[in-house]
């Protein structure tokens, strides 16, 4: 191999390794943040239950069935 090609392949390997390492740090940092937030600031549960009109529940279930082509189901309806 020529010196230029060898240098180019070496720089490419260093660059790809650096990008991989930085992306791995970003992913692990994100997982750590998610873990810490879930542990120390859990989502509040409770409050007043959402009043569910039977017609609204039927419409939401029908739309879900159409959109997911029968593979989805409504487990919970909550107001955000």
Start-to-end Cα distance in the chain:
62
Question: Can you give the pLDDT at residue 51?
Answer: 58
pLDDT at 36 over 70: yes
Instruction: Give the predicted TM-score (pTM) of the model.
Output: 0.50
pLDDT at 65 over 80: yes
> Which residues contact residue 61 at a Cβ distance below 8 angstroms, ignoring those fewer than 6 apart?
73, 74
68-78: average pLDDT: 81
54-65: average pLDDT: 83
Rounded Cα distance between 52 and 74, Å, is 13
Residue with more model confidence, 1 or 66: 66
Beta strands in 1-80 (DSSP E): none
């Amino acid at each position: 191999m020529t010196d230029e090609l060898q240098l180019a392949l070496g720089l490419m390997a260093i660059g790809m390794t650096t990008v991989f390492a930085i992306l791995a740090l970003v992913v692990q940092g994100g997982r750590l943040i998610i873990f810490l937030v879930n542990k120390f600031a859990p989502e509040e549960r409770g409050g007043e239950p959402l009043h569910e009109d039977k017609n609204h529940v039927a419409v939401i279930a029908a739309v879900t069935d159409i959109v997911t082509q029968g593979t989805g189901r409504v487990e919970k309806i909550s107001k955000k």
